[in-house]
Each structure stands twice: as structure tokens, then as C-alpha cells.
Chains A and B, each alone.
Chain A
Amino acid sequence: MTAQPTTPAPAQPALPSTTTGAEALVDALLRVGAEHIFGLPGGAVLPLYDTLYQRPELRHILVRHEQGAGHAAQGYAAATGRVGVCLATSGPGATNLVTPLADANMDSVPMVAITGNVPSTALGSDAFQEADIRSITMPVTKHSFLVTDPAMIGPTVASAFRLASSGRPGPVLVDVSKDALVASTKRITDGDLAMPGYRPVTEPGQPEIRDAVSLMLSSRRPVLYVGGGTIRAGAHRELMTLAELTGLPVVTTLMARGAFPDSHPQHLGMPGMHGTVAAVGALQKSDLIISLGARFDDRVTGVRESFAPHAKVIHADIDPAEIGKIRTADVALVGDCRPTIAALAAEFRARVEAGTVPDYAEWVAFCQRVQDRYPLSYDAPPAGQVAPQQVIQRIGQLAGPETVFTSGVGQHQMWAAHYLGFERPRTWINSGGLGTMGFAVPAAMGAKIGRPDTTVWAIDGDGCFQMTNQELATCAVEGIPIKVAIINNGALGMVRQWQTLFYNERYSHTGLRGTPTDPAGRAPVQVPDFVMLARSYGCEALRCDDPADIDKTIEAAMAVDDVPVVVDFRVHQDAMVWPMVASGTSNDDIKYARDLAPQFEEDD
């Protein structure tokens, strides 16, 4: 492997010409601009922790579980656009990172995970706490390295950052054997690996841009289908330009919420299984889908064969493997979303100025009518009970559009996606592709470290919260004042909703307070007491179980800014997420509410 020069190292006082592997690792992290690292020590990384002790310029945040370190790195990366870094020891420490790595891989989050491993002489011997984490993570990372030569630590870390942050972003693992951390090596101040097979394409071809715009101009019912790639690429301004130039309807996927303001009149909201009728309907009826950093996920398409049956496709993505993977593209635009969208807008403007005027008026009016007819809405809860949708909507309104929100996975996530109201990119951070319960609290912690001046709210489920709430201890000890709203419906609500709809209300193991039909006759019980639990972690804690108190509880939580605050919102258990396309059915069969199919005009 060859080392190539990269950016010159900052001028330093004369340093000894040799260094340990651990020092080389910390030097390399600082060189690529890392400022924070989330981790938890163990035998294999002790030498590295000893170096960290002496290098406070790299702030280490001691988590309570390595999964928390991984999701924190993701939250940090998603909130800032920089690479998130986490660190774990060998064996169980490393395997605890697998879920966040898989999550980051699905959602294209730039992150680098450092793990220690047993000494190279013991690798392959089933040594204490040995796990082949490089192989374990092969299918769930962009790349994974194992380093046993101390001289390769610096170049490998530099390469890991390059891989994580360029092309399609993603997680990269660097596993380092303990002896490599201890050994002394020549001090290297720059260089990374050659990686001759890594050549991401960032600029789309101009002929393809012209073809794409020709297709846009000759179509009557195009939709801008916006995915998370636009946020990763920082392409929201270019998107606004293109959207306003064309006047076309915009839909933003779960990963793209915030890429385009919810308040914008062209915005039809989120498509997919729980998408708005207007967003789902627009894709179904369109004759051209302009896909910008989206990947035709099954949660968006429903049954693939009946997804947008009349639509041609322009597919813009930095990852060529996404193009044609699910849906054949009529025009492929391989490149970074930012220059791609800018080029589309420039070409569109030029063609319009040259006299080609597209006619989308009828289509735009149709989409508008669907949106007016089927706005987001929810059933009123039983008298005196709290509607989860209202809680989330009020948090969004009271906290304002600068706030960063994270969420868990479940009903509360879908309500948060719909009702918080997003106006800016990087304000909505969730686990979209992997759907990882337990994401919210540690991701909020990471986001708050990355953006300390921004309010960060985690919208969490009572089930999800119980998977990773130990990181509240980290937040309390390290001074990371996040806010957590537990949408406490006493159930694994999203699964329960499916049981309501498709399993005849047989609530098999989804009640978190016990089952009403408990054979031993045990009464339902709310454990833990989230308020007491949060206080024991050193957090402020509040409870709200009366709809009349929603606003004042949120305001009380907002008034706390020195410690983490947790609010236990006791909400109506039978609230459901609507609209919904049942799994295995066509998007044409979307239900606006239970047993209520929307009527599109041609069906009237």
C-alpha cells in the first residue's frame, strides 16, 4: 500500500521522530479535524485511552453502552455534516457497534468507528474478547480495515475519513490490534492509502443533464421526489431554486424531511407507507419522477409493480449502484446532488429562456386540490386523554424551526415526521433505513455535542426509550442538556397498530404495562416510572397526562437549559398513524383513515 500526500500538516514544534501507534492514531484523528469522540474503554484499547488522557484537545465522551457511542456519532454527523467518530474495545465492545454501523450504512451517515483488537499474535486464536469485527461488519459498512502495523495506523485513519465523507457517505470501521497501538513507529504527518479502486463520480455529464431537462419539458405531470441525499449533499438551496423555477410539486422522503420547507406551497409532504395522500397520489399519477438523492425504498414504493405506473424516471444519485436497482431509469444522473440539481436548474432556465415553456398548470392544480381535500389530520382522543399528535405538533410549534429533532422508531416517529413541521435541513435526524429502536436519545446527545447552541429534542417512544436511556447518565455527567419527550402509550405502538388492523386485535406481546388477559391476573403497571428514572439520572423530569397541560409542560421543559430534561407524556393508547398503505398492497390503495380510501378526481 502506498502513502499519498494530502493536506499539509500544521506547523508543529519539533517532535520526536518516533511515536506509538496510539499517538499516531490520535494525531491522525486531529489531523482530519476530529474534535469529539464517543467511546467506552476496555483492555484492547487501554493504550489508546492512555494517550487520550494526555491529549484533551480531542474531547472524549464516555458513554454507557457502545451502541450509544455509535448512534451519538451518527447524530453528530447528521446534525453537522462532519464525520462522527466512535471508539470501542475488542469483542463485545466492537459487536455493540454493529447496529449503529448498519444504521449508518443504510442512511449514508459519514462516520468512523475505531475498535481495538487482541494483539496480532493472538488474532485467530479465539483469544479473550476476540471478535473478527472487520469481517462481521463487511456487509454493513462502506469499508472495514484491520491494522496490525503501527506505521499504517495514520494513513488508514486518514483513508477512513476520506471514504466516510466522500462519494456516498457511510460508516467505515478501523480495527487496530493492541500491539500496533503499543509499538513505536516512525512519526508520519500526512498521507493516506492509495485506494486505486475508489473513484467517486461527483459531476453529472452535461448530455445527461440535457436529456433530463428535455424529459422534464415534454412531461405534463412531473414530481420532484427528494431523498436524504439532498441533505447529505447540502443541496437544499439548489433544490429551492429548481423547485421554484419549475413550479413542480415536491415530496420529501422520511430521510429528506427539512430539505424543503414544509410551509412552502409546492410541498406535498412525505410519500410512502405513512405518507400524505397528496404525496403518495402525486407519485402514483405522475408521468415523470425526478428522483434527487432518493432510492425507491420499499416503504416509499409499496408494491413495486404498481408504483407510479405511468412515470418515466430521472434518477440522480452519487451511487451508480442505486440507479436501476429498484426502478429502471430513463435518464441516469450519476453525481453529487448539489452540482446535479444546480445543473438541472441552469439548463431548465436556459431552455425556458430560449422559448420552451412547459405547461404544468393543470397538474399543479390537481395536486393542490388533493392536498386541500386530504390534509394531515387525526381523530380526537377520548375525552380527557392526550393526543400524541397534538403533543408533537405543539413541541414543533413552540420549539421553532431552528430546533434539531431526533426520534426513535414507531408511531411517534411517523407523527414526528408529519407534525413537527420542518423548515431547515439537518433539523430532523432519525433511523430511516434500518429502523433502529433506541436511536433517539444517543443521537440527540451526539447532535447536541455537534451543535451546542441549538436546542435538541428527542421525540421518543416508551419502548424505544427503554433501549438506550442509559445515555441520560452520559448527558448528565458530561453536561449535554438534551430534551426528551417520551410519547408514552404503554405499548410497542406501531406493532400494536398492525395487530389492530391485521391481527384482529390480538395484542400479542406489545403491551409494555402487561396484558389485560394476564393468566396470573396481574394488573397493568407502568414501569419504570419515567419521572423517577430521569431524576435518578440527574435530569429534570416532568409528566403530562392532561390535554390542558400540554403547552405549559413543553414551556417548562424549554425553560430548563442547564441539565437534560425528560417529559413523560401519557398519551392515548389507541391513536393510529394515518394515512397508511398496508404492507404488500399498492400505493393506489392508500387509506386516509381506517376504512377510508381517498377519492381522486377521475374516480368521482
Chain B
Amino acid sequence: MSRHALSVLVENNPGVLARVSVLFARRSFNIDHLVVGPTEDPKVSRMTIVLNVADDQLHKVTNQLDKLIEVIHIEELSDPSAIRDQLWAINDNGPRPVGAMAAAWG
């Protein structure tokens, strides 16, 4: 098992967070952290997802995510630990513009 961070661009539609959560629950992928925020494009949101999976499972996660119609783009971020720490800080300190932060790292 190792930690991975994904930056996922999704259509900003109602229900899209539920759809992603249902997928993770159903396929038994464990989410460590998940943050949703806006992007410059009001029609698009960014989800930053940190998850703990075996390396050979990661492509299964991304394949399944990619299958969701509202998922536009998936990118693996390079430094999941740093991102996790930042996300912890957000959890501790209240909301901040995470979409922009994750974009800066991504």
C-alpha cells in the first residue's frame, strides 16, 4: 500500500460528489482525504483525493473514475504526503481555496 494524490477535474453538477463517493465505496477503495473546490471555470470543479492503495490498484481506481461521465480529467500529483499535510491544515484551520492550491502543486 502507498499513498497517492489525484487531482480530478469534474463537471460542476449536483450529485457529482455523491457519484465519486459511491464509486469508491462500491469498489472498496479507501479515501484518506477528499476536498472539492472551484476552478476558474464555473462549470468545472476540482477534487483532490488522497488515497492509500496498492500501486497495482491505482490504475483500477483511475480507470473506474474515468468511466464516470462527469469526470473530465485525472492527474496523479507528485507529492501526496505534502498534499495530505496541507489538507490536514485545511481541516484544522477551516476552508481555503483548495482548488487553486492543488492546481499550484499539480
Contacts and interface: CB of A to CB of B under 8 A. Distances in A.
Interface of A: 1, 134-135, 138-139, 142-143, 146, 163, 195-198, 319-321, 323-325
Contacts of A1: 43
A321 B72 contact: no
A468 B71 CA distance: 38
A325 B60 contact: yes
A195 B69 contact: yes
A142 B64 CA distance: 12
B15 A320 contact: no
A135 B13 CA distance: 13
B18 A197 contact: no
Contacts of A163: 69
A324 B59 contact: yes
Contacts of A197: 10-11, 66, 68-73
A321 B69 contact: no
Given A321-B67, A325-B60, 14 more contacts: A135-B15, A135-B18, A135-B22, A138-B15, A138-B18, A146-B14, A146-B15, A195-B69, A197-B66, A197-B68, A197-B70, A321-B63, A323-B63, A324-B60
Nearest to B14: A146
A15 B67 CA distance: 39
A196 B72 contact: yes
B24 to A, nearest CB: 11
Contact of B69 (A135, A139, A198): A198
Interface string B5-43: 000001100110011001100100000000000000001
Most buried by A among B18, B63, B69, B71: B69
Nearest to A167: B67
Q: Contact size class for B?
A: 20 to 34
Most buried by B among A138, A195, A197, A321: A197
B75 to A, nearest CB: 14
Nearest to B62: A321
A321 B64 contact: yes
A202 B14 CA distance: 29
Contact of A320 (B11, B14, B66, B70): B66
Contact of A138 (B19, B60, B66): B19
B65 to A, nearest CB: 9
Contacts of B69: 142-143, 163, 195, 197-198
A139 B28 CA distance: 13
A278 B17 CA distance: 47
A142 B68 CA distance: 8
Nearest to B44: A196
A142 B59 CA distance: 20
Contact of A196 (B11, B22, B23, B60): B11
B81 to A, nearest CB: 27
Contacts of B70: 197
Contacts of B68: 197
Nearest to B60: A325
Contacts of A195: 69
A321 B29 CA distance: 15
Nearest to B43: A1
Contacts of A139: 22-23, 26
Given A139-B26, A196-B11, A197-B71, A321 B18 contact: no
18 contacts: A138-B15, A138-B18, A139-B23, A139-B26, A142-B69, A146-B14, A146-B15, A196-B11, A196-B72, A197-B10, A197-B11, A197-B69, A197-B71, A320-B66, A321-B60, A321-B64, A321-B67, A325-B60
A138 B70 CA distance: 12
Contacts of A320: 63, 66
A545 to B, nearest CB: 46
Contacts of A325: 60, 63
Contact of A319 (B14, B60, B67, B72): B67
What 8 A-B pairs have minimum CB-CB distances, sorted nearest first? A321-B63, A197-B72, A143-B69, A197-B71, A138-B22, A196-B72, A198-B69, A321-B67
Interface in B57-97: 59-60, 63-64, 66-73
Contact of B15 (A134, A142, A198, A323): A134
A356 to B, nearest CB: 33
Contacts of B23: 139
B61 to A, nearest CB: 10
A324 B60 CA distance: 8
B13 to A, nearest CB: 8
A325 B69 CA distance: 19
Most buried by A among B14, B23, B63: B63
A321 B26 contact: no
B21 to A, nearest CB: 9
Contacts of B63: 320-321, 323-325
A143 B11 CA distance: 13
A104 B68 CA distance: 17
A143 B71 CA distance: 12
A584 to B, nearest CB: 20
A55 to B, nearest CB: 29
Most buried by B among A134, A196, A320: A196
A146 B16 CA distance: 12
Nearest to B70: A197
Contacts of A146: 14-15
Contacts of B26: 139
Contact of A321 (B15, B66, B73): B66
Nearest to A198: B69
Contacts of A323: 63
A506 B9 CA distance: 55
Nearest to A148: B14
Contacts of A319: 67
A94 to B, nearest CB: 16
A277 B18 CA distance: 45
A319 B60 CA distance: 12
Contacts of A198: 69
Contacts of A324: 59-60, 63
A163 B69 CA distance: 9
A325 B59 CA distance: 9
B27 to A, nearest CB: 10
Nearest to B26: A139
A53 to B, nearest CB: 32
A309 to B, nearest CB: 19
Contacts of B71: 197
A130 to B, nearest CB: 16
Nearest to B20: A138
A250 to B, nearest CB: 28
